[in-house]
Amino acid sequence: MTPMSAKAFWEVDVKFSVTPPIALCALLSFLTAPSMAETVQCSFTTECYEAEACSETAFDLSIEDADGKTAIVTDAQTIPTSIGGSEAVRIYVGVTDDAFHLISRASGGATRYTTHIYEGPMMVNYLGTCKGEN
């Protein structure tokens, strides 16, 4: 066995004493990284406007959860949302300057989305389903 110089010893020592902690830090940062965004997709097939008869519609929205913040996302706007309920049922509530938004989702996915628009005032109610977890 050939004797090592202090420099060679240091390089070997650094290689083996630094690399495992760096690998461990990389692994821990991966495991503790924020989870990917979760999305619930909702499709509504019935629309009821105020006291008028309900009619068929095709309206979609998503409920997105990213970085601990939840929002109802439509083509027109993104609404910051609070979540309530349990593992079986969910309630989503959002308030904007224009309207109050309430989504209730039953355990089977049956969903009702109600918007109370302040101007008027008027109410629009949608019936449909949501799929996904959050």
Secondary structure element (H or E) that encloses residue 29, with its range: helix 6-31
Task: Give yes or no: residues 82 and 46 share one domain.
Answer: yes
pLDDT tens for each residue of 60-117: 999 999 888 999 999 999 999 999 999 889 999 999 999 999 999 998 999 999 999 9
Which structural domain, as residue segments, surrounds residue 5? 1-33
Identify whether the C-beta of residue 105 lies closer than 8 Å to the C-beta of residue 111.
Answer: yes
Core vs surface per residue 102-114: b (16+ CB within 10 A) or e: bbbbeeeeebbbe
Task: Give yes or no: residues 64 and 113 share one domain.
Answer: yes
- Number of domains the chain contains: 2
pTM: 0.70
**122-131 and 38-49: which strand pairing?**
antiparallel
